[in-house]
Structure 1
Amino acid sequence: MLSALDRPVATSVLLLGAIAIGSAIGGVAPEAGARVGALADPLVLALVTAVFATVRLEGLRELRRCSRLALIAAGVNFLVVPVVAFALTRLLPDEAIRLGVLTYCLAPCTDWFLGFTRLAKGDTTTGAALVPLQMLIQLALYPAWLAVFSGLPGSGVLESAVPALLTWFVLPAAIGLGIGLVARRVLPDRISASVEAGVDRAVPVIIALLVVALFAGNVGTILAEPSAFALVLGVVFLFFVAMWGIGEAVARAFRLRRDEHALLTITTSARNAPLMIGLTSIALPDQPLVVAAIVLGMLIEFPHLTVLTHLLRRGRREAPSVGPARVAA
């Protein structure tokens, strides 16, 4: 089984390979690229179903025991991050690419950040409680963010995006939640855990296949502005640097314990690219540049989280103990 650090490396390799394969198919054989591109819709359904099959809504019950840290983390993710992301994306010249980076930055991760939090000796109890909370908030805000940042009239976004999201997102999400619930209630714990782990490992593969389809069907449009995509990598890097500094300042201001500090740092850096790729492919089907920008953000995110984990673990070893730390497995 891949460790939490091996998985991002493998995912990065998968994404780079998917971009290369999709671009090659669409560039060399446009007709084949169009056929491969048509697979994007069923892959989106599979991705949304798989993502939600591993979500545990029962984690919301834990919020009573860790409400202070959860409020701080959610406040940074949903109040501070939009300001930082909006300011940095002003550096991008293309509106569609700017929207893609904004979409990527605005959604906090709800899955692999827990693995990095555990490696950094962070508070995974609060992290688990944050998963359903942040998932629900970002889903509720997504149509609003789209209306605000896309430049389209709010009524137009609602008319076009909401029906598509209900059909192509709510249904597979409900199926995914149902599969996860049934597996945990009916199957023995060991088998249920194996099924969940298998679905979790399948998510990067489904993303890679979706990237192949998106690039194969839209390679001409996507590669028309290579300099703009180079800027995407720079802006995402600046976003992560800014969030590191903000996390350090917030941790000092609220005198967070080391395990709380680690969770805050990881959850305000890790982004929910898989869900945003699925949602955006549904809501904006004629905007391949938006989805391409989200994919590029993932390529920066994984190395960044690996470095963060190393820094947090080293800081924990070097810092003297200042009080009891609560770390859940």
Structure 2
Amino acid sequence: MGPNETVILGPLLVDIARAVRDLRFIGATVTLNFVFVPLIVFGLSRFIAGDQALLVGVLLVLLTPCIDYVIVFSGLAGASSDRLLATAPILMLAQMVALPAYLLIFIGPEVVSAVDPKPFVEALVILIIIPLAMAAMTQKLAARNRVGRAVMATMESLMVPLMMSTLAIVVGSQIVGVGEEVASLWTVVPIYVAFLIVMVPVGLATSRIFRLDTGSTRAAVFSGATRNSLVVLPLALALPEPFTLVALVVVTQTLVELVGMVVYVKVIPRIVTQHTPTTPI
């Protein structure tokens, strides 16, 4: 197992606890995702402001930072993925509060009243609370005997395949609809591509402001660029009839982002090296 795999698969709970106390990284990711990203998204979304369904889909997905597969992709790039794992509950709770406010400002009360918060609550329990509780139990068992260590190694080895399988199922469930509406959905692709490009310098600038080290800078860039499509999709599917296209807009972002993450994994380590300055700008 190489160093990248170790970063992805083995963040011990003690490392997570230490990461929670990293206030500079928390401050950087919160500022990046809830101050800079909304400003960028507002500007980019003006290009499709005349189509409400496209606008709602773009805003839903781009205003919500990722809390799941960003940990896998950032780990492949040598980022401090344990810090992203530690900040996941914070980002999840923050977006539950911030998303309705941003939608109210950017669109109006009609869409806000149509959004069901239940999927967010379910995601907090399923994606954050339950996995962390299971990780704590598994690590405690691993510390006691060889069987426990074997169980933990097996769970770690399954992490990436399970995440990729989840993505494949989610995307596959909507891919036919994407094909049928490709003419309409094509207009949002440049917005998603532009977002991925813009978030690199914005993430780097934010990291310099908060004086983050190399691993944390890479993690912050990934946090700013990856979006919470797996959680947002149930919200989109629950919207009423006039917004049926919204779910496909969200899935389109996932397809663009997956390609972008492959590029990020190769490019970000070259941009953010051990010699990258971390002094404030």
Compute the TM-score of the two structures, normalised by the length of structure 2: 0.74
Q: Which of 215, 222, 234 is matched with 2:190 structurally?
A: 234
Q: TM-score, normalised by structure 1?
A: 0.65
The Cα offsets for residues 248-277 of structure 1, whole Å up to 9 and x where unpaired, read as: 323344443322221221111111111111
Matched residue of 1:284: which SS?
coil
Contact 1:113–1:270 (CA<8 Å) still a contact in 2?
yes
How far has the Cα of 1:66 moved from its partner? 0.8
Cα–Cα, structure 1 residues 228 and 59, in superposed 2: closer, same or farther, change >3 Å?
A: farther
Q: Unaligned regions of 5+ residues in structure 2, if any?
A: 6-11, 142-147
Which whole-Å CA distance do the structure 2 matches of 1:179 and 1:251 have between them? 28
1:31-180 correspondence runs (5 A): 61-62=17-18, 65-92=21-48, 93-153=50-110, 156-157=113-114, 161-162=116-117, 165=118, 170=121, 174=125, 177-178=129-130
> How big is the shift at 1:82?
0.8
Using the TM superposition, give the Cα deviation of residue 96 of structure 1 relative to its aligned residue in structure 2, in angstroms: 0.7
Residue number in structure 2 paired with 1:264: 220
Q: State the structure with bigger RCO (CA 8 A, min sep 6), 1 or 2.
A: 1
State the 1:183 CA deviation: 6.8
Displacement of 1:152 after TM fit? 3.6
Ranges in structure 1 where 5+ consecutive residues have no aligned partner: 6-55, 324-329
Read off the aligned partner of 1:185 and give its amino acid letter.
M
Give yes or no for the alignment of 1:284 onto 2:239. Answer: yes
Find the partner of 1:194 among 127, 136, 154: 154
Displacement, 1:76?
0.8
Aligned CA distance change for structure 1 residues 224 and 201 (closer, same or farther; 3 Å): closer
Distance (Å, rounded) in 2 between the aligned partners of 1:277 and 1:297: 11
Do the aligned partners of 1:148 and 1:154 also contact (CA within 8 Å) in 2? no
Is 1:185 the equivalent of 2:185? no
User: Aligned letter for 2:137?
Assistant: R
Q: 1:91 to 1:68 in 2, by over 3 A?
A: same
Contact 2:218 2:272 in 1 (8 A): no
Quote the Cα distance in structure 2 between the aligned partners of 1:276 and 1:154.
14
Percent of pairs identical after alignment?
25
Deviations 1:220-261 (A, max 9, x none): xx6676443112110111111111121232334444332222
Please tell me the root mean square deviation across aligned C-alpha atoms, in Å. Answer: 3.6
Tell me the amino acid that sits aligned with residue 95 of structure 2: Q
How big is each residue's C-alpha offset from its partner over 1:277-306, in whole Å with a ceiling of 9 and x where there is no partner? 12322x415323111111111122122222
Q: Structure 1 residue 104: deviation in Å?
A: 1.2
For residue 91 of structure 1, give the secondary structure of its aligned residue in structure 2. helix
Partner of 1:16: none
Check conservation: 1:147, 1:157, Cα contact below 8 A.
no
- Is this contact kept in 2: 1:273–1:295, CA < 8 A? yes
